[in-house]
Amino acid sequence: MRRANYRGRRVIFPIGVLLLAVDALALTAGLNRWLVFLCGVAYLGLVDDLAGGPMRGWREHGLAVARGELSTGALKAAGTVALAAYAVTGTDDTGLLYLTDLLALALAAHVGNLLDTRPGRCEKALALMAAVVCLASRSLDRLAPIAPLLPVVAICAWLTLSERAMLGDTGASLIGGMIGVLLVTTLSPPGIALALAGLIAISVYGEFRSISAAIERVPLLDRLDSLGRVN
């Protein structure tokens, strides 16, 4: 499939199916709750890519559900929460910590979609998160839950930055979910709470304002955002 990107160029869409395929292949080596979560959110994103209508944002999808209409966005939201609940159930977390982990996982996948309005932005967010995690722990071991997918994310970044392809919700949801996995597997309870607050803030802001416009107003963020992108 091909679809027009933000500049009107017709590019391959959704290249996120590459990530989905590798995730599904990795699962054949053994059941891993994090890969199950990521595979699930990618499938939900693919449904939205292929069957989703013009509705955008929680408000529009919520109104559609209230009118009794089918909303792939609402299906994706409910499915993501259910998958996050499954993934977190495999940990020792209980009570409030369980809830914060669940919400952080689900919202990270959503924020991945909000970020994916410019080429390479979603992949750069993951790279930044991975770098912070590795530097803080002085080890690459923290990347183990998502390691099988990292080479394919790099390939996707090359294709999106060169404007040959777009991730689609398939890839953006999965990459956002990878960020969520890093958050819940590396941060302390106070850190998770702070991360969740940040994810909520981004989600609410993205519902009413343009994240791209906000990034462009901050010179450092704008330089990082445009790094590697074709002119």
Band (41; pLDDT cuts 50, 70, 90): very high
- Tokens 């409910």 belong to 78
> What radius of gyration do the chain's Cα atoms show?
17
**Domain residue spans in the chain?**
2-226
**Rounded to an integer, what distance in angstroms lies between the CA atom of residue 203 and that of residue 92?**
27
Mean pLDDT of the chain: 90
Q: Which residue matches tokens 């199950």?
A: 36
pLDDT classification of 35: cutoffs 50, 70, 90: very high
Question: How many alpha carbons fall within 13 Å on the CB side of residue 73?
Answer: 17
What pTM was estimated for this model as a whole? 0.93
Instruction: Give 162-188 pLDDT, tens digit per residue.
Output: 999 999 999 999 999 999 999 999 999
Handedness of CA 161, 165, 169, 173 (dihedral sign): negative
Say if CB 182 and CB 146 are below 8 A apart: yes
The DSSP code sequence of 47-80 is HHHHH--S--HHHHHHHHHHTT---HHHHHHHHH
Contact between 16 and 25 under an 8 Å Cβ cutoff? The reply is no
